[in-house]
Amino acid sequence: MLMNYKRIIQIVLLMAVLVLSTYLFKQADTYTSSAAFCNSCHVHNHAQLSWEGSTHYIESEEELSCVSCHLPPKGEGFYREKIKRGFKDVYAYYFKDSVDHNWELKSRPEQAREHTFKASCLECHPKLFPIQLSPNGEIAHWHYQQHETDMHCIDCHLNVGHGPGGKASHNFELLNTTIKTDTLYLVSAQIRDLKSFTETIPQSSIGFDMIAIEKGDSSFFIGKAEVSWDEYLLFLRETESEGRSENEIDGFSGATPPWGNPDQGWGMGSRPAITMTHHAASMYCKWLSVRTGKSYRLPTEAEWEYVARQVITTESELVNTINSDKTKTIEPQEVSPDVLGLHHLFGNVKEFCADEFEKGSKEHVLKGGSFKSEKTNYRADYREATQHDHWMKTDPQIPKSIWWYSDCNDVGFRLVLTYQNTEKP
Amino acid sequence: MGKYSRREFINNTLLAGGLTLASSLGSCKSKSVKQPLDAAPDGPVLKAGLIGCGSRGTGAAVNYLDAGPSLELVALGDVFEDKLIACRQNLKEKKGIEIDSEKCFVGLDAFQKVIDAGVDVILLATPPYFRPEHFEAAVKARKHVFMEKPVAVDPVGVRSILINSVRAEELGLSVVTGTIKRHQADYLETYERIKSGAIGDIVSGNCYYNQGKLWHVNPRAEWTEVESMIRNWVNWTWLSGDHIVEQHIHNLDLMNWFIGSHPLSATGFGSRQRRTTGDQFDNFSVDYIYPNKVHVHSMCRQINGCTNKVSDLIRGTHGYTNCENTIFNAKGEMKWKYELTEEQEKDKWHFFWRAFAQEHIDWVTAIRTKVPINEGKQIAEATLMAIMGRISAYTGKIVTWDEMLNSDLRIGPKVFDMFTTGIKKAIPVMGTL
């Protein structure tokens, strides 16, 4: 009888412990999943500020916390990820200095994918085609549906959780930027001999430097810097095809407005123009040739390498001439020119060459690496291929743009001009 | 509907269905085949609106009303008043119902008025050019939809159907389409056997829709150009999709169904030998290539005086089938045939007519049992397959599925009213496009 009594007490105690543990676990789980808890350790105040400026913070009817997006939903690996990331955070908190973290790098789509869970997006937004979705949104979501395994919601909706701006759309603003008129060139440059010169585009304020490269009968000029946004925007404004009436159309079929910000928010000006396709870069050369009365073109791979071999002999020589910021492009004048006076032949952006990557391939040669590249790839002989389809993955338009890559932000180009020696031997 | 009245037909088929079921118990019918229901279950009244009051629309309305108890038709819409009046009169005579004149709408915007007329379900039976717009409006208004095949005339339209099919699914709506073979008992039974490996792996297919010329209506002086075209819609590609889309889709959908995929490319040709109306071809021959290099040869023709044939054949590693009711081994010996009752034996169109009713029974059953069915994707894929074949024949070039899926091709006027003129009428010339 006494034994039975003891047994009952044991069972009751055990149950009480279980209930209490469950309660405490739930309380701890709730507390450690709150935004307050995240912020107690996390030292990136800018993340909290950008969160408070985001559409999810401002418009959401539910109170969301960091884990709503940065952990998967319960039942889909929530606790596994919470433990894994918890340990990582504790380690980082005690053994690393937050100043050393490259927050901008972590915010880039490819890294943001690692700490934002698609399943969590879908948990709150299970409908791909809500009734109020716009026609553009329908096509974009339809495109997502066709590439569901490759795509993440944040490929298009990157800023909905942090920072203002949410919906991706055509960037018509880009083409309406005010044009500087303080300087107006009237004629293009005259070339008399193989000497570096400054090209000026008539009826514009745009000029750029071309460096002479001696190569016997095949001498040429090469752009001192990669084609800048200032230069490229003039082309876009003069040729963009959307919204123009038929009688305005000239010999060029120009670019349509890009989807989103082609400069990635890094700024334009003298920074290299980026994200244009190889076709767009080639069309730019044609347009510029007509505007200047010369024959500008993309360099051949051989020309590019010829210049590169003069610029680089040892890796150490590159130190002051490359972009050391691994997150974005910089302005050319932020680095020293190389021995030929060129800026950023290596690094900053990968540069298109005219050549196909392989015979019959639709991909083209890229040279010079970009700000993202390993230093060991800053070599004259290092060649990469464009990845057209891969770089168009999130372009939601039908048909896809032939002018803008939606998923590549480190390609641009440098101009070449053949030297025409008019003197009779 | 031929010699039977709808009621007699249903009564007979209910009996026949019962007999079929009974006889099947003693036969070697596939156990996994769900036998078609004889009627939809009862439930709260479902009010329907019909958009497109031609003969198929009127037929679909009757099929719907016969599908089970507590089903009502309360609104009608058509571009033309005479079509609407005839439909209203037919329904009065056949079903004894009078549609309230306040819920009869005429004009290009009639579809929206029907959708907004307090209905629960929508029947879409206009020419296919209008289907994407009407389907989108119906789904956005949260209506269950029955829609006739095909569902678009161009890739842009197909994409709209695909998107709104997913939307319908997300809203829990049921969507059934007019590809009747998928609701036909003999095809269903044959399909289950093929799926279970009765002919091994599928290696090829052939399908035929060879028939005579369809109808046309001579234009009248009092009709505008648009009106003449719409009244002659089976003769104009922008309205019908051409006959490979409008008619042959039955076979093409069947191929997709049995093979379990859509084709990846099409190489076709066709021409206009005898047709004097509209801008369509009157014959097509298309080689479709599916995954694993499975080829399907499709041909369709609308020319009088030739051998007519509407049938299918699918060949596997161990035999072949007509897809309808018979399976053969590789030597051509019959391995299995769908068992018919005496009554079914007498009427060779039994299953065909029955299927028109069955699709509505299945639709209403899905709505009332709250187990939605959605045939939007499959009909969109069959439509795109047919469009792919048409474009290959018009251009003389290989056309791929990805090209079609991502094409911005839209045919017919984007916006028009009954007085619009100058609609493109050029007949395609292969090799020049």
Amino acid A45: pLDDT: 77
Pick from A106, A109, A168, A102: nearest CA to A409: A109
Q: Please tell me whether the interface predicted TM-score (ipTM) of this complex is above 0.90.
A: no
Model confidence at B29, pLDDT cuts 50, 70, 90, reads very low
Contacts of B164 in chain A (CB under 8 A): 129
Pairing mode, if any, of strands B283-289 and B265-271?
A: antiparallel
Which candidate, A340, A339, A185, A206, places its Cα nearest to that of A273? A206
Residue whose tokens read 């050019």? B129
Tokens of A337: 């020119």
Contacts of B408 in chain A (CB under 8 A): 398-399
Interface test with B, best of A125, A129, A134, A148 (most B CBs within 10 A): A129
C-alpha B249/C-alpha B427 separation (Å) is 21
Q: What is the rounded CA–CA span in Å between residue A33 and residue A40?
A: 12
> Which contiguous run of DSSP H or E holds residue B267?
strand B265-271
CA distance A228 to A368: 17
Q: What is the dihedral of CA B370, B376, B377, B383, to 10 degrees?
A: 160
Contact list in A for residue B140 (CB cut-off 8 A) is 131
pLDDT digits (tens, 9 = 90+) for B235-256: 999 999 999 999 999 999 999 9
Grade residue B125 by pLDDT with cuts at 50, 70 and 90. Answer: very high
| Beta bridge pairs of residue B105 | B77
Express each pLDDT in B315-347 by its tens digit.
999 999 999 999 999 999 999 999 998 888 888
Q: Per CATH, which fold does B6-181+362-376 belong to?
A: Rossmann fold (3.40.50)
Cα torsion at B271, B277, B278, B280 (round to 10°)?
Answer: -20
**pLDDT score for B33:** 61
Tell me the C-alpha distance between A70 and A61, whole Å. Answer: 19
| The CATH number, out of the four listed (2.60.40.1220, 3.60.90.10, 3.40.190.10, 3.90.1580.10), of the domain defined by the range A173-418 | 3.90.1580.10
| Residue A53 binned pLDDT confidence (cut-offs 50, 70, 90) | confident
Retrieve residue B388's tokens: 């792919």
For residues A408-413, give the mean pLDDT: 95
Query: Under DSSP, is residue B399 helix (H, G, I), strand (E, B) or coil?
Result: strand
| Chain A interface disruption, residue of B170, B377, B408, most A CBs within 10 A | B170
Q: Residue A387 has which token pair?
A: 């990845």
Is A246 a residue whose pLDDT tops 50? Answer: no
Buried b (16+ CB within 10 A) or exposed e, B389-408: bbbbbbbbeebebebbbbbe
- Per CB-CB distance under 8 Å, the chain B contacts of A393 are none
Taking the C-alpha atoms of residue B347 and residue A51, their distance in angstroms, rounded to an integer, is 71
Residue intervals of chain B classified under CATH 3.30.360.10 are 186-337+380-405
**What digits encode the pLDDT tens for the residues B385-404?**
999 999 999 999 999 999 99
Does the pLDDT value for residue B39 go beyond 80? yes
pLDDT digits (tens, 9 = 90+) for A297-319: 999 999 999 999 998 765 556 77
What are the distances in angstroms from CA A193 to CA A285, A307, A424, B37?
22, 19, 13, 90
**pLDDT score of A136 more than 60:** yes
Closest CA to A262 of A171, A142, A148, A363: A171
pLDDT at residue B15 in the model: 38
Q: What is the pLDDT of residue B8?
A: 42
Report which secondary-structure segment, H or E, holds B372: none
Do the Cβ atoms of A142 and B162 come within 8 Å? yes
Extended beta strands in A130-227, E state? 197-200, 207-213, 220-223
Q: Which pLDDT does position A150 carry in this prediction?
A: 86
What pLDDT shows up at residue B428?
A: 93
User: Class for domain B186-337+380-405, per CATH?
Assistant: alpha beta
Share of chain B above pLDDT 90, in %: 84
Which residues of chain B approach chain A closer than 8 Å at the C-beta?
140, 159, 162-164, 166-167, 170-171, 405-408
pLDDT in tens, A257-301: 776 778 888 888 999 999 999 999 999 999 999 999 999 999 999
Which part of chain A is CATH 3.90.1580.10? 173-418
- Residue A413's CB is within 10 A of a number of other CB atoms, namely 28
Q: Are B294 and B426 in contact (CB under 8 A)?
A: no
Distance CA B59, CA A245 (A): 48
Task: Tell me the count of A-B CB pairs closer than 8 A.
Answer: 31
User: Which tokens go with A89?
Assistant: 């955070």
Rg value, chain B, Cα? 21
Any chain B CB within 8 A of the CB of A142?
A: yes
Candidates B143, B167, B171: best to mutate against A (most CBs of A within 10 A) is B167
Per-residue exposure over B15-34, b if at least 16 CB sit within 10 Å of its own CB, e if not: ebbeebeeebeeeebbeeee
A12-21, A236-245, B155-164, B352-361, range with the lowest pLDDT: A236-245
In single-letter form, the type of residue at position B281 comes to F
- Measured at the alpha carbon of residue A230, what is the angle toward residues A229 and A234, in degrees to the nearest 5? 105
Inter-chain CB proximity B167 and A126 less than 8 Å: no
Q: What is the pLDDT of residue A247?
A: 43
Contact B408 A398 (CB under 8 A): yes
Query: Mean pLDDT in chain B?
Result: 92
Chain B residues lying within 8 Å of A127, measured CB to CB: 167, 170
Q: What is the pLDDT of residue A1?
A: 58
Say whether pLDDT at B229 is over 50. yes
Query: Between helices B249-259 and B376-395, what is the axis angle to 10°?
Result: 120
Q: Locate CATH 3.40.50.720 in chain B.
A: 6-181+362-376
Tokens of B140: 């956005």
Cα-based distances in Å from A383 to A322, A353, A355, A368, B122? 18, 10, 11, 8, 60
d(CA A313, CA A336): 16
Q: Say yes or no to pLDDT of A252 above 70.
A: no
Q: Which residues contact B116 (CB under 8 A, 6 or more apart)?
A: B141
Parallel, antiparallel, or unpaired: how do β-strands A411-412 and B46-51 relate?
A: unpaired
Q: Where are the beta strands (DSSP E) in B11-110?
A: 46-51, 71-78, 104-106
- 3-state percent breakdown (helix, strand, coil) of chain B, nearest 5: 40, 20, 40
